[in-house]
Amino acid sequence: MSATTTDRRLASGSAPQPAAPDRLPVLRRPLTSYYLVLGCAAALVIIGLTMVFSASSVRSYARSGSSYTVLVTQAQWVALGLPALALARWLPVRTYRWLGYPLMLFSVLGLVAVLVPGVGRNVDGATRWIEMGPLSYQPSELAKLALALWGADLLARKQRLLGQWKHLVIPLLPVTALLAGLIMLEPDLGTTIVLLLVTMALLWVVGAPVRLFAAISTTVAGLTGLLIYIEPYRMARFTGFLNPFADPLGRGFQAIQGLYALSSGGWWGIGLGASKEKWLGGLPNAHTDYVFAIIGEELGLVGTFTVLLLFATLAYAGIRTARRTTDPFVRLAATAVTAWLVGQAVVNVGAVVGLLPITGIPLPLISFGGSALLPTLFAVGMLASFARTEPGAAAALAARTGGPLSRWRRSRRAGTPPVPGGRRRRLVRR
């Protein structure tokens, strides 16, 4: 296999060709990607807390006697995730390059452990969780972050050898197949799709040939068809996707109720908290996999379009960071994480609106669940850290963090103590 000149330039880590300048002045600023990543994530988390409370209040009251039980749990996960985001925002690139390897090992061990009888917890026919006292941990969520970091560092280290097939696909594709195989044994088709999107994004950045993507897509499509054919419940889900109204009270019930929720919202929705589908006997998993349907019902087309616009902006910020950096690892990791977050959102929304089969995958930063929220918030912080490596971003951020403590630290480095009013006097040695 011979790579093109552009592909070799991307793989070698040399500076990318200058892109066309952004037309809007605000998009030309060095901190644009940084603030877009953090701003979109903050908006999505706020929307998520609001809609999780609205969608779960009735069922929460029926189960625990309080409408706030699920909201409090999700708020606790957010409180744990925000320090993780803050830490990830300031970690250097070299730490992320090292972090991918222990995360990959921990993910594989967790995916094996969840399949051990007595260790994994089965919910609705899927064994995806490991009980850890009062909490439950889903190893497949950590596997997404691990694959993005490990794969990015692997390809960055092999950058001068990627013109050869064996270095391009090994060990990236075998490790991806191992993770996907373990996750499909749970089973979890949605997470498997996201892992494949991460791998495809990594291969795209390093300039893999189109025939490799065609081979991977053909193999995945064939295996998916075989898995659907040999497993009755997967065949039922697939046929329910093709025609949910053929069994409206059985396999097509969730899909139909989701469409009813979306269609009843209209332009502006029926009002926050006024959903009818969230009541008992209505839409299943209203605060988890199908929270987007409740957004459409209560906030209407405006609400759903706002969520989609936030994810589109997050995708723009991630791609902008990848294009503007000169570090090959940052370029690969930023693209992989962006493909993970935005691709998962597309899979979730596609299932809710009936364009894709239901896979049971959450909407990032919005759906209820700590196992998914914590790695996602860490990944957002990592994207923000990568955005700080853009040309001029670090200097611009340092200039904007000019509080009293920062002035004191800078004065210590310069050898001049700060004085009131921001003036400085030089130290005179006697």
Report in angstroms the alpha-carbon separations of 402 from 61, 67, 328, 406, 424: 48, 43, 31, 5, 15
Bridge partners of 136, per DSSP, are 131
User: Is residue 94 included in any domain, yes or no?
Assistant: yes
Q: 166 in helix, strand or coil? A: helix
Is residue 132 one of the residues assigned to a domain?
yes
Contacts (Cβ under 8 Å, ≥6 apart) of 312: 342
Integer Cα distance of 322 and 330 in angstroms? 7
48 CB-near residues (< 8 Å, 6+ apart): 74, 291, 363, 365, 366, 367
Rounded CA separation 203/310 (Å): 26
Per-residue pLDDT at 369: 87
Looking at residue 277, what DSSP letter applies? Answer: T
Nearest to 339 by CA among 91, 77, 147, 87: 147
In a domain, 243, yes or no: yes
- In the chain, pLDDT over 90 holds for what percent of residues? 54
pLDDT of amino acid 287: 92
- Is 412 among the domain residues? no
- Per DSSP, 57 falls in state H
> The pTM is what?
0.86
Within a domain: 286:
yes
Instruction: Extract the tokens encoding 385.
Output: 């850290």
Domains held by the chain: number: 1
The separation between CA 73 and the C-alpha centre of its own chain, rounded to angstroms, equals 20
* Sheet order of strands, 126-132 included: 120-123, 126-132, 135-137
| 417 lies in some domain | no
pLDDT reported for residue 364: 96
What is the DSSP code string of 212-237? Answer: HHHHHHHHHHHHHHHHHHH-HHHHHH
Residue in the block written with tokens 């691990």: 146
pLDDT tens-digit profile of 113-149?
999 888 888 777 778 888 876 677 889 999 999 999 9
Burial of 429 (C-beta count, 10 Å sphere; 0-12/13-18/19+): exposed
Does residue 371 lie in a domain region? yes
Q: What is the pLDDT of residues 377-406, one digit of tens each?
A: 999 999 999 998 877 666 777 776 654 445
pLDDT of residue 18: 47
**Please, are residues 289 and 369 in contact by the beta-carbon 8 Å criterion?**
no
Cα-Cα-Cα-Cα dihedral sign, residues 376, 378, 381, 387: negative
pLDDT block averages, 10 residues each, the chain of length 430: 43 46 64 91 96 93 91 94 94 94 95 88 79 80 96 92 84 94 89 94 93 91 83 75 82 89 92 88 88 95 96 96 92 96 95 88 93 95 91 70 50 51 42
What per-residue confidence (pLDDT) applies to 401?
Answer: 61
Query: Is residue 2 domain-resident?
Result: no
- Position 130 scores a pLDDT of 86
Tokens of 92: 């250097």
Q: What pLDDT score was predicted for residue 80?
A: 94
Domain of residue 389 covers 25-398
DSSP for 191-215, written as a single string? HHHHHHHHHHHHHHHTT--HHHHHH
